[in-house]
Amino acid sequence: MIFEGVARKLAPQSVGILIFFFKDLVAVVLLFLCLTGKPNPEASRWLGVMGKFSALLVPCILLTAVNDPVLAVFGAKQYILFPIVAVAMCAAYVPNHRRELFSFFRLIVLSLFVTTLVAVAQNRLPADNWLNLSVAGDDLSGFSAGGYLRVSSTFSFVGQYCFYLNAMCYCLPVYFYFNKFFHGWAPNVQTVVLIGLTIVATFVTGSRASVIGNATMLSVGGLLAAFCGGGRGLIKIIAALIVGALLLLALQSLYPEFFAAYQARVEGHSESSHTVEIEKRVIGGLLDWTDGWEEAPPSLFGYGLGAMSNGSEKISAYAARWRDAGFWTETDQATTFFEGGWYLVLVWYGFRFWVVIHSLTLVLKLRDLEYRFIGCLAWGFISIIGLQGTLSIQPPLSIWWWLAVGLIICLGHFDRGQPGKKQTQDFNLNAGHI
């Protein structure tokens, strides 16, 4: 998923569609393994949750199949396939495979070196360089700001890069803690470098979704961590803010070109100010639930799952007809209302709200303060994305979301698996990934 964009640019167009669906194939394989294997009780429980939610979507799936059976399969997987990520994490790491979990997140975090390097290269290359073209070979210079492209790094488009950077809000704390846990100390230079890379990557996108998104998720998770951790949690938050602010000032002074595109989008235009953008993207996303609903006539079961999802018009003539008619729902709320009507709005958002609340209860039950700190930051991502993220449109975002849910579940088992409040370092060296 992280290198999908570069892979599709290098591969022939006929192979590109296979790369596009590769993450779906992996999810299907995980589902097959969990169904045919002997998952532990926690994995079985979440597999049951996944099955119950899937059953509630049967009316929408059947009605979609009447118009287009292929679209019904495509649309169904947009909603019901990716919870398998959390199920698979339970099967792989519960109850005490902490070293394997650390190895997994270590790979994700270390990818920052590659993704940031590619983003910086794009920032300095001309718009017609192959690395700066879309996966279809289109010129993206129309998305420039301040003379700099809004870069997508190794991803297919800027939005996917932003999802990845938002997920770093909980991936980095996992890496920092477990690195110290298993090796006895956390190299300060390495910590500063990784935070610096994240700052550069976040701003070089030129996207407010990455900057405002990260700021909002860290604020929500940080406030919860300060509340749960008391004075110790507050000290951690203040220390992180000081380090982040100093790094931001230093990097802006040394490499202003990395921040130019973002600055150009927020300076000199009151309608693009941070305050207005926060109100629009965060507060508006949380409160303006009916925004965009006028795109479709009211319906009990909507007009077809997946009809408004990215790429559906390429595999479904039915979805293509809606696009040709001028219908396009950009927000998750509008997409849900269009594709599944009032019924799907209640089922889909009811399920998401339950996951958000249930994840919070799991975080509050954590005894180990370090685990709780990680859980709080993961919940910051879960809460913001769960309430307003485009989970029904963007499978990559859904995968990052369920990864955060699975992380909190695993932390809960690590926490309960050890006596007392402080975790010890015993772990199963022979346990492996699925």
Amino acid 148: pLDDT:
84
* Helix %, strand %, coil % of the chain (to 5): 75, 0, 25
Q: Is residue 49 part of a domain?
A: yes
Q: Is residue 420 part of a domain?
A: no
The reply to whether 426 falls in a domain is: no
pLDDT tens string 322-353: 877 777 777 788 888 888 889 999 999 999 99
By mean pLDDT, which of 87-101, 153-167, 180-194 is the weakest? 180-194
Domain containing residue 205:
4-413
Total of domains in the chain:
1
Q: Is the predicted pLDDT of residue 422 greater than 60, yes or no?
A: no
Residue 315 is predicted with a pLDDT of: 84
Residue 434 lies in a domain: no
- Average predicted confidence (pLDDT) for the chain: 85
- pLDDT attached to residue 309: 81
Rounded Cα distance, 324 and 332, in Å: 20
Quick one: pLDDT at residue 418? 62
Tens digits of residue pLDDT in 180-237: 776 655 557 888 899 999 999 999 998 888 999 999 999 999 999 888 877 777 787 7
Q: What is the pTM for the complete model shown?
A: 0.89
346-379 pLDDT tens trace: 999 999 999 999 999 999 999 998 899 999 999 9
pLDDT at 279: 54
Q: What is the pLDDT of residue 431?
A: 38
Any bridge partners for residue 148, and if so which?
A: 145
Residue 411 in tokens? 């932390």
Tell me the chain's radius of gyration from C-alpha atoms. Answer: 22
- Residue 277 — pLDDT band, cuts 50, 70, 90? low
Output b/e per residue, 364-401; b: 16+ Cβ within 10 A: eebebbbbbbbbbbbbbbbbbbbebbbbbbbbbbbbbb
Q: Which of 54-63, 236-245, 394-403 has the lowest mean pLDDT?
A: 236-245
What pLDDT shows up at residue 131?
A: 92
pLDDT in tens, 292-301: 555 555 678 8
Tokens 């380090």, residue? Answer: 243
Residue 272 forms part of a structural domain: yes
Residue 167 lies in a domain: yes
Give the pLDDT of residue 329.
76
What single-letter DSSP state applies at residue 282? Answer: I
Which H or E run contains 218?
helix 208-254
Domain presence at residue 259 = yes
What is the pLDDT confidence band of residue 266, given thresholds at 50, 70 and 90? confident
In this prediction, residue 286 has a pLDDT band, given cuts at 50, 70 and 90, of low
Q: Is the pLDDT of residue 425 over 60?
A: no
Q: Which of 89-98, 133-142, 177-186, 411-420 has the lowest mean pLDDT?
A: 177-186
- Per-residue pLDDT at 274: 53
What distance lies between CA 108 and its chain's CA centroid? 13
**Domain-embedded: residue 18:** yes
